[in-house]
Structures are given as structure tokens and as C-alpha cells.
Amino acid sequence: MKKTARKSGKEGRIVNVSSEAHRNPYPEGIRFDKINDQAGYSSFRAYGQSKLANILHANELARRLKEEGADITANSLHPGAIVTNLFRYYSIINGLVNVLGRAVLKNVQQGAATTCYVALHPQVKGVTGEYFSDCNLSKPRPQGQDVEMAKKLWDFSMDLTK
């Protein structure tokens, strides 16, 4: 991406799809010391942790790209509550989503709008390290703005992938 942005003279954009579920991770945010702890596992909290990680990753990537002078932005977003098969393993919830959700949740096209906006809209040119919702800037929970946690997640991830 760096090479393409440099050669083309066009800004590259990286978009991490997160969720408002990032507001419900484990209390410590990312459980670095208990990443595979089965005893304290909660699917709800683990999902929140993963969505918090999406935001922190985009923020740290944005910081690093900016530091390098790369013409690439990195942002994260909440696409909205969308009618999907996310709850397919929870039959009662899935049934409610399929019946009632169609009246109050976004369809797939509406859910894609913020992703397309952040990836393509001229108003977002040069905007980096931000969180969006409904095609607007939004604020993640304080842990989603934690620079030290973002750096720690980056280093932790790099160690895991060695």
C-alpha cells in the first residue's frame, strides 16, 4: 500500500470494521495475560474484546503510518446493527432478529454505508486514527483511545505472529 500510494499520488485507506460491542469487553480491556483462559471465558466479553482490538489496531497503525510519512490512513467504525446471521447459534435471539429485526435493524446496504464512506468519501481525506458510526465521527470508549494499550496490543500481536 505504501508503494502504491507513493507511486499513484493517491491516499491509501485502511478501514477496520469494529462494533459498538467494543464497549463491553473484559474489565481490563484486552486480557493480555489471560488470552486463552478458558476458566474466565465469556463469549460476550471476548467479542467485545475483539472489537476493542479492532479499534486499537487501527489507532496504532494510523500512528505508525503517520510517523513514517506514509500517505495512508487507518480508521475504525461501527457499521450499525444489521440483520445478519451473527446470532445463528442462539436460536431464540436469531429468531427475534429475523422477525423483529427487519423492522428496526439496518439492511446490508445500509450497514455498508459507513464502511464505504470511510473508505471513499472526499470528506474523510487525511482523517486517520478515528472511529466512525453512521457516517460520522464518533468516540469509542476510553479504552479505545488508550495509546499505551494500543502499543501493547501491537507488540503482543507481533510476538504471537513470530
The answer as to whether 159 is a domain residue is no
Is 117 labeled as catalytic in the residue annotation? no
From 26, 41, 89, 117, the catalytic residue: 41
What is the sign, positive or negative, of the torsion defined by CA atoms of 109, 113, 114, 120? positive
Q: Which tens digit of pLDDT belongs to each residue from 90-138?
A: 566 666 666 666 667 778 788 899 999 999 999 999 999 999 999 999 9
3 domain residue, yes or no: no
> What is the CATH number for 117?
3.40.50.720
Instruction: Give the integer Cα–Cα distance in Å for 63 and 66.
Output: 5
Number of domains in the chain: 1
Instruction: State the Cα–Cα distance between residues 123 and 143, nearest whole angstrom.
Output: 26
Q: Report yes or no on 136 lying in a domain.
A: yes
Q: Decide if 113 is inside a domain.
A: yes
Residue 138 falls inside a structural domain? yes
Q: Is residue 139 domain-resident?
A: yes
CA dist 4 to 13, 63, 67, Å?
11, 19, 18
Residue with cell 501491537: 154
The residue type found at 116 is C
* pTM, two decimal places: 0.88
Print the domain residue range for 119: 12-154
- What pLDDT band is residue 82 in, cutting at 50, 70 and 90? confident
Residue-level pLDDT at 97 = 61
Domain annotation covers residue 51? yes
